[in-house]
């Protein structure tokens, strides 16, 4: 009953390429915003300041408890009323706020994963707490958080497919539009899945390469 016609892919390659580039752009900008958010709130989670710790915990728990799709729609339609973010920045901030909460947990685990003795040794050498943090703990934590941070970025590329619900142009929205005009849903979505896989898989190969180099430099 369903007749396959794969020529739709070749004829619309520009639509796929534009969409994939937009997906990468939105994901990259989101992760750039998400990393500082994650570092601030990740440190906040283990801060000695009670208020800072509370705010950070509330942020992380709320965001982790709300589905990304709902968060995006909420940011666009509710916050959008006041902030006039538009689709493009609305989706970037939505993804950044979402990923930020997960990065905060990665950062917290990274810092807590550094053995306690490191801090004690630094303090006994006369360093202040802040100095020990920036010179001793954070550089070590940095190495631990890199791999999970990289996989968070891969997750973000996949999650970015959801921003099509707030009319942000990227691969998934382009594909939806192409299906609406070509009615070749099976062909289009199969190819879209392949593009996402190529993007994420090549990224994880790159990450694996850098991880190996990092391990070597440590040894």
Partner 1 sequence: MKKWLAALLMITVLIIAGCSNDSGGGVSTENSTIQKALKEKKLIIGMSTGYFPFDMKNPNGDFVGYDADTAEALAKALGVEIEYKQFTFDGLIPALQTGEVDMVFAGMTIRGDRALAVSFADPYFQTGQAVMLPGKDTTTKTWQDLDVKGKKIAVGIGTTGALLAKDVFKNAQVMDFENFPDAAAALAQGQADGIVYDEPAIAVWKLQNGDKVRQLEGLISTENLGIALKKNDFETIQWVNSFLSSYLGSPAELASREKWFETSDWLDEVVEE
Does the protein bind partner 1 through residue 10 (CB under 8 A)?
no
Say whether residue 86 binds partner 1 (CB under 8 A). Answer: yes
- In sign, the C-alpha dihedral spanning 96, 101, 103, 108 is positive
User: In this chain, which of 74, 142, 183, 209 binds partner 1, going by CB under 8 A?
Assistant: 183
**Residue 81 interacting with partner 1 (CB under 8 A):** yes
Judged by CB under 8 A, which of 176, 200, 207, 211 binds partner 1? Answer: 176
Instruction: Tell me which of 49, 128, 190, 202 binds partner 1, using CB under 8 A.
Output: 190
Q: What is the dihedral of CA 60, 90, 77, 200, to 10 degrees?
A: -70
Angle subtended at Cα 116 by Cα 110 and Cα 119, rounded to the nearest 5 degrees: 95
d(CA 93, CA 31): 10
Nearest partner of 30 among 160, 204, 195, judged by Cα: 160
130, 173, 191 from 93: Cα distances, Å: 30, 18, 28
Least distance CB 163 / partner 1 (angstroms): 12
Interface segment toward partner 1; rule CB under 8 A; list 82-90, 104-112, 116-124, 127-135: 82-90
Q: Which of 84, 116, 126, 219 binds partner 1 (CB under 8 A)?
A: 84
Q: Give least dist CB 174 to partner 1, A.
A: 10
**Alpha carbon of 82 to those of 86, 97, 168, 174: distances in Å?**
11, 17, 19, 28
Q: Residue 125 or residue 167: which is nearer to partner 1 going by CB?
A: 167
Return the residues of window 137-166 that contact partner 1 according to CB under 8 A: 164-166
Binder to partner 1 among 74, 77, 142, 209 (CB under 8 A)?
A: 77
What does the alpha-carbon distance between residue 117 and residue 183 come to, in Å, rounded to a whole number?
63
Closest CB to partner 1 among residues 2, 51: 2
Shortest distance (Å) from residue 185 CB to partner 1: 4
Measured distance CA(162)–CA(95) in Å, rounded: 9
CA nearest neighbour of 37 among 85, 92, 74, 84: 92
Binding site for partner 1 (CB under 8 A): 1-4, 76-77, 80-81, 84, 86-87, 164-167, 173, 176-177, 179-181, 183, 185-186, 190
């Amino acid at each position: 009953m369903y007749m396959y016609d794969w020529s739709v892919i070749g004829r619309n390659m520009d639509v796929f390429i534009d969409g994939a580039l937009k997906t990468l752009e939105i994901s990259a900008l989101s992760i750039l915003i998400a990393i500082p958010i994650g570092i601030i709130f990740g440190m906040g989670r283990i801060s000695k300041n009670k208020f800072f710790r509370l705010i950070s915990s509330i942020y992380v728990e709320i965001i982790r408890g709300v589905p990304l799709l709902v968060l995006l729609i909420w940011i666009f339609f509710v916050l959008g009323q006041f902030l006039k973010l538009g689709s493009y920045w609305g989706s970037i901030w939505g993804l950044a706020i979402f990923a930020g909460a997960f990065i905060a947990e990665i950062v917290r685990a990274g810092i807590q994963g550094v053995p306690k003795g490191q801090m004690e040794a630094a303090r006994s050498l006369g360093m202040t707490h802040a100095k020990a943090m920036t010179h001793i703990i954070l550089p070590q934590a940095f190495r631990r958080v890199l791999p999970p941070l990289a996989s968070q970025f891969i997750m973000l590329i996949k999650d970015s497919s959801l921003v099509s619900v707030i009319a942000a142009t990227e691969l998934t929205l382009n594909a939806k539009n192409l299906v609406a005009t070509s009615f070749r849903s099976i062909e289009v979505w199969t190819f879209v899945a392949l593009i996402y896989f190529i993007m994420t898989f090549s990224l994880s190969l790159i990450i694996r390469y850098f991880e190996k180099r990092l391990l070597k430099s440590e040894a």
